Copies of this chain bind each other. A is one copy, B any other.
Amino acid sequence: MAFPIPRRLLLVSNSRLHGEGYLAHCEEQMRSFFGGKVNRVLFIPYALHDQDAYAKTAREKFESLGYELDSIHESSDPVEAVRKSEAIFVGGGNTFRLLKILYDLNLIPEIRKRVLHAGIPYMGSSAGTNVATISISTTNDMPIVFPPSLEALGFVPFNINPHYLDPDVNSTHMGETREERILQYHEEPDTPPVLGLREGSMLLVEGNKATLLGRNKARLFLRGQTPTEHEPGADFSFLLTSS
């Protein structure tokens, strides 16, 4: 799978760490990612029900970093809003709801064009990270609505599991652990790698280079292989050429 260059992605596991403010843990990476050229960021709040409140929260944060924020739900023409966008931020919430609305509003091809052809920066958090990958097959969310496909924006040829969670050794709960759920995915044929991004972690993709940033290690699952641990700073570029 050959991706055109440029492609600039900041795929964050989660928007809020315990005891910290909205996007506080990734402020430094956001400044560096959006840089000095971007003036306005287009926010996509569809993963949450209360889009007005969500846009307010996101706007306050982005303005504090020096960026104007337009929420796509306030636009009369969402497709045109994407076409004009200089940068995109897709927030977390329910991944099925988010993906279904992206399909319903015919935004998938437009966002793809902006990110893969025009090269504008795309930041996702949680559900916004899930939809940036090949599919939403490793979301943690309930299927509260039914999108026409699990196939997502496909900016990277693998899956991410955001909010990746280690097993609680003291738990008596018998539901599957996160690792067991991902291994069940890999029991299916031809399933791509899954990168488990723990809270506080994020993946930076620039062209054909992918780097783990943030405070926590990530856990990588390749089909048929023992999962491996990777420290912040790890180079994941090899995942961009697998398919």
Contact = CB atoms under 8 A, between A and B. Distances in A.
Given A163-B174, A173-B165, A199-B173, A142 B185 contact: yes
19 contacts: A14-B175, A17-B174, A18-B172, A18-B173, A49-B187, A137-B144, A137-B145, A139-B142, A141-B181, A142-B184, A144-B184, A144-B185, A144-B187, A144-B188, A146-B149, A163-B175, A165-B175, A173-B199, A174-B199
A72 B188 CA distance: 20
Given A94-B184, A141-B184, 5 more contacts: A16-B174, A49-B187, A97-B184, A137-B143, A139-B143
A138 interface: yes
A181 B142 contact: yes
A149 B187 CA distance: 22
A144 B150 CA distance: 9
A136 interface: yes
A140 interface: yes
A138 B142 contact: yes
A105 B10 CA distance: 42
Contacts of A49: 184, 187
Interface in A164-186: 165, 172-176, 181-182, 184-185
Given A49-B184, A184-B94, A188-B145, A175 B136 contact: no
Q: Is the interface of A mostly helix, strand, loop or mixed?
A: loop
Interface string A50-63: 00000000000000
A182 B141 CA distance: 10
Given A49-B187, A145-B188, A188-B145, A174 B137 contact: no
A40 B7 CA distance: 59
Interface in A123-163: 136-146, 149-150, 163
A188 B141 CA distance: 14
Nearest to A18: B172
A101 to B, nearest CB: 12
B174 A14 contact: yes
A14 B141 CA distance: 20
